[in-house]
């Protein structure tokens, strides 16, 4: 029983090494892309990443909860074929970490 309880304390969402690269852009980063280099993007859908439960949050660090939620975003974005996700504000809960974002596939414009 103790082994079962302790095994539930680590984040379940691990980053899959086979996923394609996905760029996460958080709300406070939206102004950093120069106007002449903004990509052409196709909206693919929303993605939500969440990690933590009322019965495990006391035993798992906020860093691990955050990483688990981010890993879920990466996986869902990859499943949609996205290479960019614009992340809105973190949704605050006491027992978990949740992120909401919009997934896009972007073709970058070059000045060639």
Domains and CATH numbers, the chain: 2-107 (3.30.110.70)
Nearest to 25 by CA among 96, 81, 92, 106: 106
**What is the predicted pLDDT for the residue at 103?**
92
Nearest to 73 by CA among 108, 109, 49: 49
Does the pTM surpass 0.85? The reply is no
pLDDT at 2 over 60: no
């Amino acid at each position: 029983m103790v082994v079962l309880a302790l095994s539930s304390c680590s984040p379940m969402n691990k980053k899959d090494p086979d996923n394609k690269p996905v760029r996460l852009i958080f709300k406070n980063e939206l102004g950093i892309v120069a106007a002449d280099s903004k990509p052409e993007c196709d909206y693919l859908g929303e993605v939500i990443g969440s990690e933590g439960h009322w019965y495990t949050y006391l035993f798992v660090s906020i860093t691990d909860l955050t990483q688990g939620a981010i890993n879920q975003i990466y996986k869902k974005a990859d499943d949609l074929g996205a290479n960019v996700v614009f992340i809105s504000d973190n949704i605050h809960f006491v027992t978990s970490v949740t992120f909401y974002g919009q997934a896009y596939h972007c073709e970058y414009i070059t000045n060639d």
